[in-house]
Amino acid sequence: MDNGRINISCGNNLLVTLLTVLFVGLKLTDNIDWSWWWVLSPLWITAVFFVAWMLLSLWVNTKRRW
């Protein structure tokens, strides 16, 4: 039963966490010369997708009610 709840896969969260830890480790050991924006990109890209998904869900639900 769905109940309108959002199911976030554990695999996606694990991938984002591993990439972030890997990129931060590489940055701190001077193995990559990226800006911190790119080092932390797995976090902010995920946040942007989440906000976009929430806005789309709200928009669909308001259209459905009318």
Return the pLDDT at 6: 58
Return the pLDDT at 42: 95
Query: What would the mean pLDDT of 5-26 be, rounded to a whole number?
Result: 82
Domain tally for the chain? 1
In a domain, 3, yes or no: no
In a domain, 36, yes or no: yes
In a domain, 24, yes or no: yes
Return the pLDDT at 1: 46
Domain hosting 55: range is 10-65
Return the pLDDT at 64: 74
Q: Is the pLDDT of residue 10 over 90?
A: no
In a domain, 2, yes or no: no
In a domain, 59, yes or no: yes
Cβ atoms 39, 27 nearer than 8 A: yes
In a domain, 57, yes or no: yes
Q: What is the pLDDT of residues 36-56, one digit of tens each?
A: 999 999 999 999 999 999 999
In a domain, 5, yes or no: no
In a domain, 49, yes or no: yes
The model's pTM is 0.70
